[in-house]
């Protein structure tokens, strides 16, 4: 949650045509950590994404000159992706800025940009919509309740994104709105179904393994 919130804040400060989704950032991190080209099919498998979705993501990264795509050396039908120097520069910059946005006292507030790369790489295997993050945020509160403004501050999303996601969650029975008090202070409360969905997301995230960098011998 700390990393996703921090990255959302950083992303809003980037020019709209150069913004990367969290999943696109994760692809760059995986390519940077791998140190070698990776097949597009392997990246799709890593993110659990369908081919059209992965094509869209890699197209965007290629358009921004952050990755290069080419034919596989063994099978020309395989498209491989490799990170460019511009991509490495973007990874370093985004990692540093994201670390700076994690407030003291929050989880991972002392992590380094290099370590954050590995967290993003691991988290790229789990696709979380805005609604999933809202449920996680609500489930972590004492009474399962936050206002829209509080959710915006906690998650780093823009208010329209939070409002639309809450409406969708409400339609699905995951949350409801407590109409008591003034309209702008209406509380969003998580339902039992929402808590169960949050628990499943937590279990998935908990299964991730973030490996340490290999130690170098002196």
Residue 4, domain member (yes or no): no
Residue 9, domain member (yes or no): no
Contact by Cβ (8 Å): 91, 32: yes
The verdict on 31 and 110 lying in the same domain is yes
The verdict on 187 and 89 lying in the same domain is no
Q: What is the pLDDT of residues 44-71, one digit of tens each?
A: 999 999 989 999 999 999 999 999 998 7
Residue 3, domain member (yes or no): no
Q: What is the pLDDT of residues 93-126, one digit of tens each?
A: 999 999 999 988 888 888 999 999 999 999 999 8
- Which pTM value belongs to this model? 0.83
Token pair belonging to 83? 């990170």
Which domain CATH number covers 36? 1.10.10.10
Contact by Cβ (8 Å): 67, 58: yes
Residue 81 belongs to what domain range?
16-123
Domain endpoint, select from 123, 142, 172: 123
The verdict on 164 and 68 lying in the same domain is no
The verdict on 48 and 82 lying in the same domain is yes
The verdict on 70 and 35 lying in the same domain is yes
């Amino acid at each position: 949650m700390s990393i996703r919130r921090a990255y959302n804040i950083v992303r809003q400060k980037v020019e709209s045509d150069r913004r990367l989704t969290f999943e696109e950032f994760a692809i760059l991190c995986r390519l940077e950590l791998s140190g070698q080209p990776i097949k597009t099919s392997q990246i799709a498998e890593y993110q659990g994404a369908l081919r059209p979705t992965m094509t869209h993501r890699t197209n965007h990264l290629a358009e921004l000159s952050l990755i290069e795509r080419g034919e596989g050396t063994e099978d020309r039908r395989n498209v491989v992706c490799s990170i460019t120097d511009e991509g490495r520069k973007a990874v370093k910059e985004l990692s540093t800025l994201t670390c700076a946005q994690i407030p003291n006292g929050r989880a991972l507030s002392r992590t380094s940009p290099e370590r954050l790369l590995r967290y993003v790489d691991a988290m790229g295997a789990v696709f979380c919509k805005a609604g999933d993050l809202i449920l996680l945020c609500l489930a972590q509160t004492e009474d399962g309740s936050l206002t829209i403004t509080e959710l915006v501050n906690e998650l780093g999303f823009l208010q329209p994104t939070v409002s639309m996601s809450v409406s969708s969650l409400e339609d699905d029975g995951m949350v409801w709105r407590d109409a008591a008090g003034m309209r702008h202070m209406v509380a969003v409360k998580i339902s039992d179904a929402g808590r169960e969905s949050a628990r499943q997301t937590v279990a998935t995230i908990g299964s991730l393994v973030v490996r340490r960098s290999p130690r170098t011998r002196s």
